[in-house]
Amino acid sequence: MGLSAVETRAPLPWLLPRWRELVRLMDAGRLPHALLISGPHGTGKQTLAEALTARALCAQPAEIACGNCHSCHMLASGYHPDLLRVAPEEGKRMIRIDPIRQVNTFVSQTAQQGGYRVIEIKPAEAMNIAAANALLKSLEEPGARTLFILQSDMPSRLLPTIRSRCQHWSLAIPELDSCLGWLVEQLGSDEEARFWWRAAGGLPLLATEMAAPTSRALRQQLHETFDALVRGAEPVAEAARLDRQSVDNILWYGIAWLEDLIRFGLSGESGDVRNPDLMPLYRQAVKNARVQDWFRLLDYAREQRRLLGEGGNPNAQLVLEAWLVRWAALLRS
């Protein structure tokens, strides 16, 4: 019995042109030994990498991996001897040197299935300096039929020496026409698909994440929180009501809404915003503070999120309280 489309890692519809380029290079024997696949979260980097890994390991590949050979069945089971995946340890944000040392050992071995050896590293920018430097030797001398697939949301954070040893494939935000059918299938209606696509800034996978019940509930709770701040609610008390939520996620929404607010403040056009349901909040905010004040708050939010992302370990509740105090001051100024 053949495997399903998910198990064979079929590429997503809007990625088909890039996928066909990869297949053409692979079939011509011209696929580089190291690829850096980058793009914003939600473009589908992971699905493209998985499709490429599956096809590289497949014994009888066609347009995609066959799904029937022994190699495909091993991959579907969750283990393949010629595949090594590297990611931060659970609960950690950095990739340290020990997993990269395992990569160097893996690369020196012969492929057990007689085909490619594949090394996936994600997110590649999570490698610390020691790990990145340790990877350079393998990238420079990978041996025959070795394929490195690095994924990155922010390739600028990679060492230039790593970037220069990879062929860079940057995934652009797709046009609505190329992903609308898929989104309708995932979200159940054209109206839902268009709303969440717009709210996600055109990133299809992010749209489905935002539309999921938990994310939708958090977004609604934050909307109610900001409406309460406009009406004079106490920011610290509002922060306490959010204490079970991820501060990183709260800041992400706040940044997206601030970017919307700034677009509206500069253009005066509601058609420029990604979250049209928040227009009453935006109009109130623009009335009460200057655009440069919102830029300063945006810089603060981005810096706090960066510190959280780098494991700076600030007190999350204090960050949230300070964040809402600043919002409240501007909403009511």
- Which top CATH class is 13-172? alpha beta
* Domain(s) of CATH 3.40.50.300: residues in the chain: 13-172
pLDDT of 308 reads 80
Average pLDDT of the chain is 91
In angstroms, the CA 37 to CA 160 distance is 15
53-84 exposure pattern, b = at least 16 Cβ within 10 A, e = fewer: bbbbbbeebeebbbbebebbebbbeeebebbb
3-state secondary structure of 210: helix
- Of residues 42 and 307, which shows the higher confidence score? 42
Question: Is residue 63 within 8 Å of residue 69, measured between CB atoms?
Answer: no
pLDDT score, position 331: 85
pLDDT at 117: 95
DSSP for residue 146: E
- Rounded CA-CA distance 97/103 in Å is 10
Q: List the CATH code of the domain at 212-331.
A: 1.20.272
Predicted confidence (pLDDT) per residue in 124-142, tens digit: 999 999 999 999 988 988 8
pLDDT per residue as tens digits for the range 193-236: 999 999 999 999 999 999 999 999 999 999 999 999 989 999 99
DSSP state of 268: -
How confident is the model at residue 1, as a pLDDT?
30
The CA-CA-CA angle for residues 218, 296, 205, to 5°, reads: 35
**pLDDT band at residue 305, thresholds of 50, 70 and 90?**
confident
The pTM score is: 0.89
Rounded to 5 degrees, φ, ψ at 84 are: -125, 120
Question: How buried is residue 215: exposed, middle or buried, by Cβ count under 10 Å (0-12/13-18/19+)?
Answer: middle
Q: What percent of the chain has pLDDT over 90?
A: 77
Provide the b/e sequence for 130-147 (b: ≥16 CB within 10 Å): ebbebbeebbeebeebbb
